[in-house]
């Protein structure tokens, strides 16, 4: 894998202020495929200074011109689709088919959506005798995770640029190569120097320096609730804007009368996609008592089709998790579930056969799970499904809402009105009805400890704007 040995700051690649590097490891075989610089606080200072200097001109750029730049960015990313997919597969371990369809195509579509929104958004509006101006908030510090590395970059950088903000990006240290590809694509568009800047580095060093920097007006962070809580505290102390997209423990509620086979099959596919490393995954499957045993059997059968395989092979459906740390975390949760009395009906804590090298986890399904178990309360972030039993709809609502999270969820019913009525009772930011498709124009974000703010579409653009009113 080709990697830059510098940071992208002020329109050019420049050496890091420090000498340390980060190994980029292929999680399928533990081979080091590249090294990138481990950025320092001085690198962050340089990047923020460049973004501050570029902000006045970019903020004053006409929305149509910002739209044209974003269109060029979408086209530059589309031209690199195969390279993006291969890079994500190498550094994250996602199967190549999934990388093409999701890790490459989704962010390309999102970039295109913000090119259109930049041109059509109402940055001015009339209310009575007032003119309301929606102006860019300033310099954005974007800290992105490894699980959907390019999508999360685009979901922050594209709306920030559309709004007229300038950006300093600190990507996850596990997946920095696709971030460098993104910087190359930005450079190709001719975006003015300093409008976008990239600093690779470790979270506790470069990430913390960015979150605490006085020159940053808004921090947009996606990652764990624990880190998000610290970033929120820092931002609050500085009276700084913050957007947090954090954890989830989403419920997949199958109501009596729903197509059980379809709902279970879709639920298993949802959780096992990206090796379970999806914050919005429906990791808790809720089934009525009368059909519980049938659902468990269907889930067991569906899980058997997810055989861990070489991520580079087109037919592979399940790759490794991202790192040794993540593998050990997920296996630890599987062991905890068994210790607390849940029944393993597929998978388990051991390495898949023939996969001792690499960060592999067997796709696992738990039955006889009760709402108070650790595996039903905490985000595992791996290919692990818990199946819970409910007695009636009120009980299902209580279980579904009974965690600290509220990011996503699903409801299945033979009657759409019944499903919508149930969805209205859920404390969560998104609910898919009978397998509704992901919509990149709809707001994405959570209730409770799943975060603050929204990403994607017009709601995602609004996060990067502040409001001024002129009275006449």
Question: Contact at 8 Å (CB) between 177 and 110?
Answer: no
Instruction: Evaluate whether 385 touches 299 at the Cβ level (below 8 Å).
Output: yes
Under 8 Å between Cβ of 381 and 329: yes
Number of C-beta neighbours around residue 105 at 10 A: 17
Dist. CA 400–CA 390, nearest whole Å: 10
In the chain, the largest separation of any two C-alpha atoms, in whole Å, equals: 74
Check if 297 is active-site: no
Average pLDDT over residues 431-447: 97
Residue 6's pLDDT is 96
Residues 6+ away with beta carbon under 8 Å from 377:
249, 371, 403, 404
Predicted local distance difference test score (pLDDT) of residue 139: 98
What's the pLDDT score for residue 382? 98
Rounded CA separation 187/169 (Å): 14
Which sequence spans correspond to the domains of the chain?
Answer: 6-246, 251-439
The pLDDT value given to residue 354: 86
Catalytic residue, candidates 86, 173, 245, 379? 245
Over residues 68-72, the mean pLDDT reads 98
> Taking Cα atoms as reference points, which of 198, 92, 111, 234 lies closest to residue 162?
111
Question: Which of these, 462, 433, 470, 422, lies nearest to 445 by C-alpha position?
Answer: 462
What's residue 215's pLDDT?
98
Helix axis angle for 416-423 and 393-400, nearest 10°, is: 40
Lowest average pLDDT, out of 107-116, 124-133, 230-239, 361-370, goes to 230-239
Mean pLDDT confidence for 233-257: 95
| Domain formed by 251-439, architecture | 3-Layer(aba) Sandwich (3.40)
Q: Tell me which of 91, 165, 279, 463 is the catalytic residue.
A: 279
pLDDT one-digit tens code per residue, 254-279: 999 999 999 999 999 999 999 999 99
Q: What is the CA radius of gyration of the chain?
A: 22
**DSSP element (H, E) containing 284:** strand 284-288
Dump pLDDT digits (tens) for 144-167.
999 999 999 999 999 999 999 999
Q: Is the pLDDT of residue 1 over 90?
A: no
Within 10 angstroms of residue 79's Cβ, the number of other Cβ atoms is: 13
| pLDDT averaged over every residue in the chain | 97
CB atoms closer than 10 angstroms to residue 19 = 9
Q: How many CB atoms lie within 10 A of CB 336?
A: 16
Once rounded to an integer, what is the mean pLDDT over residues 33-52?
A: 98
User: What pLDDT does 162 receive?
Assistant: 98
Contact by Cβ (8 Å): 296, 388: no
245 catalytic per annotation: yes
Give the DSSP letter string of 66-112: HHHHHHHHHHHHHHTHHHHHHHHHHHH---HHHIIIIIIHHHHHHHH
- Predicted confidence band at 114 (pLDDT cuts at 50, 70, 90)? very high
- Give kind and range of the element (H or E) at residue 270: helix 260-272
Q: How many CB atoms lie within 10 A of CB 415?
A: 12
Report the distance separating Cα 379 and Cα 375, nearest Å: 8
Query: In terms of C-beta density within 10 A (0-12 exposed, 13-18 middle, 19 or more buried), how is residue 48 classed?
Result: buried
Per-residue pLDDT, averaged over 11-22, amounts to 97
- What's the rounded Cα separation, in Å, for the pair 43 and 391? 56
Among residues 341, 412, 352, 427, the alpha carbon closest in space to that of 382 is found at 352
Q: Give 318's DSSP letter.
A: B
The token pair at 65 is: 């011109």
Q: Is 224 left (phi over 0), alpha (psi -120 to 50) or beta?
A: beta
Read off the DSSP letter of residue 14. E
CB atoms within 10 A of CB 253: 31
175-230 pLDDT, tens digit per residue, is 999 999 999 999 999 999 999 999 999 999 999 999 999 999 999 999 999 999 99
Q: Give the mean model confidence (pLDDT) for residues 79-88.
A: 98
Q: Which CATH class is domain 6-246?
A: alpha beta
CA distance linking residue 397 with residue 311, whole number of Å: 38
- Residue 401 to residues 52, 252, 342: CA-CA distances in angstroms? 43, 12, 21
Separation between Cα atoms, residue 11 and residue 9, nearest integer Å: 6
- Candidates 36, 357, 348; CA nearest to 181 is 36
Note the pLDDT tens digit of each residue in 302-329: 999 999 999 999 999 999 999 999 999 9
DSSP SS3 for 451: strand
Main-chain dihedrals φ then ψ at residue 116, nearest 5 degrees: -70, -40
Q: Where are the alpha helices (DSSP H) in 367-408?
A: 374-377, 393-400
């Amino acid at each position: 894998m080709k990697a830059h040995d510098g940071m992208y700051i002020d329109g050019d690649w420049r050496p890091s202020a420090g000498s340390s590097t980060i190994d980029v490891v292929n999680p399928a075989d533990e081979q080091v495929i590249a090294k990138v610089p481990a950025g320092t606080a001085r690198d962050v200072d340089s990047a923020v200074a460049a973004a501050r200097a570029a902000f006045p001109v970019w903020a004053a750029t006409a929305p149509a011109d910002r739209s044209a730049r974003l269109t060029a960015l979408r086209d530059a990313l589309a031209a690199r689709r195969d390279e993006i997919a291969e890079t994500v597969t190498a550094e994250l371990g996602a199967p190549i088919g999934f990388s093409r369809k999701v890790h490459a195509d989704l962010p390309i579509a999102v970039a295109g959506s913000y090119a259109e929104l930049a041109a059509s958004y109402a940055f001015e509006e009339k209310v009575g005798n007032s003119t309301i101006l929606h102006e860019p908030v300033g310099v954005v510090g974007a800290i992105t995770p490894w699980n959907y590395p390019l999508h999360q970059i685009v979901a922050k950088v594209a709306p920030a640029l559309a709004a007229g903000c300038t950006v300093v990006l600190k990507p996850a240290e596990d997946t920095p190569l696709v971030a460098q590809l993104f910087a190359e694509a930005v450079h190709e568009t001719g975006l003015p120097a300093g409008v976008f800047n990239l600093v690779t580095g470790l979270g506790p060093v470069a990430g913390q320096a960015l979150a605490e920097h006085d020159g940053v007006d808004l921090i947009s962070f996606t990652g764990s609730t624990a880190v998000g809580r610290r970033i929120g505290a820092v931002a609050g102390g500085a009276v700084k804007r913050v957007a947090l997209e954090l954890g989830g423990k989403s419920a997949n509620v199958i109501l009596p009368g729903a197509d059980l086979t379809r709902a279970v099959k879709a639920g298993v596919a949802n959780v096992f996609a990206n090796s379970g490393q999806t914050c919005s995954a429906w990791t808790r499957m809720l089934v009525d008592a009368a059909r519980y045993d049938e659902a468990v059997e269907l889930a067991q059968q569906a899980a058997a089709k997810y055989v861990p395989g070489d991520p580079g092979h087109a037919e592979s459906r399940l790759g490794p998790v991202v790192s040794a740390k993540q593998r050990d975390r997920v296996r630890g949760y599987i062991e905890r579930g068994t210790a607390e009395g849940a029944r393993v009906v597929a998978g388990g804590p051991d390495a898949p056969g023939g996969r001792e090298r690499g960060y592999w986890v067997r796709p696992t399904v738990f039955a006889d799970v009760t709402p108070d178990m650790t595996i039903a309360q905490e985000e595992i972030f791996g290919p692990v499904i818990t199946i819970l039993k409910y007695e009636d709809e009120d009980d299902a609502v209580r279980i579904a809402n009974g965690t600290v999270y509220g990011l996503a969820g699903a409801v299945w019913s033979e009657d759409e009105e019944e499903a919508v009525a149930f969805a209205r009772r859920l404390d969560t930011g998104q609910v898919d009805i009978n397998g509704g498709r992901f919509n990149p124009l709809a707001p994405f974000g959570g209730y409770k400890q799943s975060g603050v703010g929204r990403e994607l579409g017009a709601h995602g653009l609004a996060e990067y704007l502040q409001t001024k009113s002129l009275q006449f």
